[in-house]
Amino acid sequence: MTTATKRGILALVTALVLVALGLGVAFAVGDALGIRTEPSEQMQPAAAAVPDVAPPVAPPEFTTLDVPDTVRFEVAVDELRDAVADAPAREGEASVAVELIPGQEADSGPGDDGYELRGDASALRIVAFTEVGAVRAIYDLAAQVRAAAPIAELVGVHEPSRLPLRMTDLGAVGVEPDPAEWETGDDYSHASKAFAAVVQPEAPYIDESALAEAYDDFDEFLRHSLANGSNAVAFPGFVEFVTFDEAPGGPVYAEGDEHRDRALALRSAFAPFWARADELGVQVFLRTDMLALTGPLERALTDRFGSLDTEDPEFWSVYTAGLDELYEAVPALDGVLIRIGEAGAIYDVGGWDYYSALKVTTVDAVRTMLGAFTGQAEASGREVIFRTWSVGVGAVGDMHTNDASYEAVLGGIDSPALIVSTKYTLGDFYSWLPLNHTLEQGAQRRIVEFQSRREFENFGAFPNDLGPQYQWALQQLLAANDRIEGVWVWTQDGGPWRAGPMSLTLKAGFWQLYELNTQLAAELARDPDADVAAITAAWAREWFSDDPATVEAIVGAMSRSREAIEQGMYIEQFAEQRVFAIGLEPPPMMWIFEWDILTGDSAVLDVMYSIVRDSAGGSGADGVDAAIASGAEAVAAVEEMRETVTATDASSWRSPELREAFVSTLDYELDTLRLLEAYRALILHQGQWHDTRSPDAREAWEADRDRFDELAAEHLARYDGDLDHPAFNLTAAQLGIDRTERDPAMAWAARVLLVLALAWLVIGVLSSRTRLVARPGAAAASATWVASIRPWRARETTLGLYDLDRWLLMLVPVALLVGTRAVQTSFLSWTHLAVVLGAWTVFALVLRFCVGRRSPWPVIAAVGGVVVLRCIVTLVALSFTGPGGYWFAFWTDPVLRTAYVALAFALFVWVFVAAGWALAGQVGARRAVGFVLAAVGAGLLVPSAVVGAIGLEQALTLWNDELGLLPWGLARILGITTYLDIPGETAWYAAGFAAVLLVAGVLLALPKRRGAGSRG
């Protein structure tokens, strides 16, 4: 067998091995993407109904109120008197007396709020076993007055509330409605900045005037919540109030440390708040992320335990000592509410050394933490509420939605002091999600989380009556799990505070709109079989009108609100599927990522289109047409809602301002859903064009673009800067449109480059076997072709080349590489070009340096020839519908993706194999490998170090903004590295690996030492 034959066989085997490795990489990429879907079992609430609204009944004047002299009764009576005073008219007089049956409280339980109302409309007697029950009766009378309903309807026996714990967040207590903080609309911080005016950076740390205002704020919120039926509140903070003086191992803070002094000041300032809640019968749970840290606390923990070792039981003794300290100082506190699933800068307030870290990420860590906290709670007579909300990979990451993970994390933990809190949806607070089945399991006490101001459905700025869904969810869950004992209603919180409308409960904006959901959740917690339509009607009467026709119109509009939200803000065919990708479960919205950002990235929109295309009910075109039609149906629903409300008699409304607010929010929703209707058509026709390459689809996209541009301009002109109705963020959408506009031109550019590259290849093939090689440039083409597939012949093919051939030998591959990468990025990503071309330049320069005085043309021919082949593969993929089509195939077609990645990877590695092989004839195999490794190491080291210096998150953000592969909002909200769980040090790891390659290459490249010579 000749040497040439052996080399040919070796080359073939090497190529096959590289292709096999490429297939392995392709399968790994597909597995990492993990894009799959499965049907999502939808909730099945009853259809929204519109009740027959009776004429209003004026309340009597309560002339006699014979009630016990306690603070709770005093506040309840205030609510009753306020309700009567707010009524447009009063008719007659009435008396109320309270009879508490002594000796029965122990039998019924202190939380038993059942009562019996006796008598008639003029003389009412409340009979109850407990103060809680009697006070509830007075609040029920007040609610009846506000609903303009006969108070005599309440006469009879009222069973205790089905769920005794009805907790709220803190609403907007302590939050300053400063328009300047909402004007930009792009502050996606989740920090409420509650009490920002109260807490000062320097001693004495408290602004007493602001504290007094905040106390009044808190008292008003407590009164309002009690009237709604709530009896507990989650109060933010924990480490802020703790000195850690008694921490095991010694105090955390040194003498004179401002953290300690501030903790004492804050504790003293807010203790009256908690005492007031206790006085009114409202439980207080301190709400904190874990790990909650300060700088000195983190250093103390690290010094003692070597790291933030959350799996060490002793680690948690520091925190439990803090709770012991706090409960002893403030007996009014009832416990702590813990979240481990989100943490970091998005929740931190700048300038303050109080922060959180995502460190409780393993099953052992969670179980150790809960063991410590529940033990402390049992010993102190308190409770621990643990939220299962956690986003990530593994059992802890999906315990919120995975039955097995829930059991792995919480199974066997049966402390009577532990309450587990879980969102009612199988995911975040989106529509189209199944009921969270993890609420049906577990031996622990459970509470169910609801959100009134739905953050993902424009922060409650649109009508959104969740009553039927709340009711169905509670009924299903209570039938399945008798351990559920409460609800937690987020009246205001969830998501960024200042990226949406400036609506603050009891303070600013049209907060009355989402107040409905707060009232519904509390009423259904008391009685899951309550008439939700009647609750909505009572809400309409309380805030808007006594007129039956107007109330019916408002309730009628609200009955269509879910249809408008579900069809207008979601694409049903996508939303009704459970989608899995990169180890996570993306939410059912996604095309709005998140809150108010219309996304324009290829990953989301291409996958969304493919799911719509494949949805049941017909061909791909049918699925697209149906999805587009749903947007029009949502618009029609809002148009009808608006017509219904505007047809009411303006004089029948309690307040012209509230009528204007209602009509304005419907105008806003109509404008927004029209914009979304146009955008959904645009993105679906965009995917259809990439999928089918149909000219009709492209024409449809262009028409959609024109309509979207027009509606977007109107939307921004009308709502940009409107604090009550802020414009959506269209930056990402416009970036996506800009890229798609360039796709046809890029496809043609790719075709031109492809023809030129193939021509160069063909000339090389022909000239290597014919006299064509004598023509100018043909020898260079021949050399690149031969050297690319038989690099051991690179030296002989470059002998005797003219200057023109040598220039072409180098410039053609370089020009083709630059052109291909520029087209691949639509001439929009200079970052991508800089990184890629910079790495290649460093590689080439180091290789040239290593070659030294030897001829560089063999290795240039080999590398250049493979680069041409590699570019041809990419240009083929780009030549159909441009870069958009390239990425469409990558995200949606596993077969094409696998074939492309395998071939592209094999050719990429072959570049370096060919370079080494070409050099081996000049310097030997060992040194050739060393030269190539050194060049590869240097080529990787430089960009890795640059990225590391800039910061991986910043570099990825810039790169993604230019290419639009992942949601633009990802970097602004969570951070790409955080969301994808990429270590921030990855660039430095790559630099370290590159340095190893570089050193290994240098060592291999060193010439052998010559012998010492013969002795004579």
pLDDT band per the 50, 70, 90 thresholds, residue 1014: very low
pLDDT band per the 50, 70, 90 thresholds, residue 1015: very low
- The CA dihedral of 873, 876, 877, 881, to the nearest 10 degrees, is 160
Output the pLDDT for position 1012: 44
pLDDT band per the 50, 70, 90 thresholds, residue 186: confident
- Whether the predicted pLDDT of 990 surpasses 80: yes
Output the pLDDT for position 173: 97
Residue 805 CB burial class (10 angstroms; 0-12, 13-18, ≥19): buried
- Whether the predicted pLDDT of 1011 surpasses 80: no
- What percentage of the chain carries pLDDT values higher than 90? 84
Write the pLDDT tens digit of every residue in 93-121.
999 999 999 865 544 455 689 999 999 99
Output the pLDDT for position 111: 65
φ and ψ of 981, to 5 deg: 55, 45
Q: What is the three-class DSSP state of 503? A: coil
Distance of alpha carbon 433 from alpha carbon 42, whole angstroms: 6
- Whether the predicted pLDDT of 802 surpasses 90: no
pLDDT band per the 50, 70, 90 thresholds, residue 981: confident
Burial 919-943 (b: 16+ CB within 10 A, else e): bbbbbeeebbbbbbbbbbbbbbbbb
Distance of alpha carbon 217 from alpha carbon 171, whole angstroms: 10
Distance of alpha carbon 467 from alpha carbon 388, whole angstroms: 24
Mean pLDDT, rounded, of the chain: 93
Q: What is the pTM of this model?
A: 0.93
Output the pLDDT for position 344: 59
Whether the Cβ atoms of residue 810 and residue 860 lie closer than 8 Å to each other:
yes
61-66, strands of its sheet edge to edge: 61-66, 93-100, 123-128, 115-119, 156-158
Write the pLDDT tens digit of every residue in 646-656.
999 999 999 99
How much is the average pLDDT of 597-607? Answer: 95
**Parallel, antiparallel, or unpaired for β 165-168 and 484-490?**
parallel
**DSSP secondary structure of 596-618:** TBB---HHHHHHHHHHHHTSSSS
- Whether the predicted pLDDT of 255 surpasses 80: yes
φ and ψ of 419, to 5 deg: -120, 130
DSSP secondary structure letter of residue 652? G
Output the pLDDT for position 397: 85
**Parallel, antiparallel, or unpaired for β 292-293 and 335-339?**
unpaired
**DSSP secondary structure of 415-459:** -TTEEEEEESBSSSS-TTPPB-GGGG--SSEEEEEEESS-GGGTT
Distance of alpha carbon 629 from alpha carbon 624, whole angstroms: 9
Output the pLDDT for position 103: 67
Query: What is each CA distance from 961 to 191, 758, 784, 904, 973, in whole angstroms?
Result: 26, 33, 36, 24, 14
Query: What is each CA distance from 880 to 455, 738, 891, in whole angstroms?
Result: 40, 18, 16
Residue with tokens 């949805």: 615
Output the pLDDT for position 1016: 35
* Of 967, 900, 888, 880, residue with least CA distance to 610: 888
How much is the average pLDDT of 126-130? Answer: 95
pLDDT band per the 50, 70, 90 thresholds, residue 596: very high
- Whether the predicted pLDDT of 504 surpasses 60: yes
Output the pLDDT for position 2: 77
Tell me the two tokens of residue 282: 């409202």
Write the pLDDT tens digit of every residue in 210-249.
999 999 999 999 999 999 999 999 999 999 999 999 999 8
Distance of alpha carbon 108 from alpha carbon 129, whole angstroms: 7
Distance of alpha carbon 783 from alpha carbon 805, whole angstroms: 9
Write the pLDDT tens digit of every residue in 343-392.
655 445 666 889 888 889 899 999 999 999 999 999 999 999 999 998 76
Query: What is each CA distance from 464 to 39, 423, 513, 591, in whole angstroms?
Result: 25, 18, 8, 20
Write the pLDDT tens digit of every residue in 849-876.
999 989 999 999 999 999 999 999 999 9
DSSP secondary structure letter of residue 1010? P
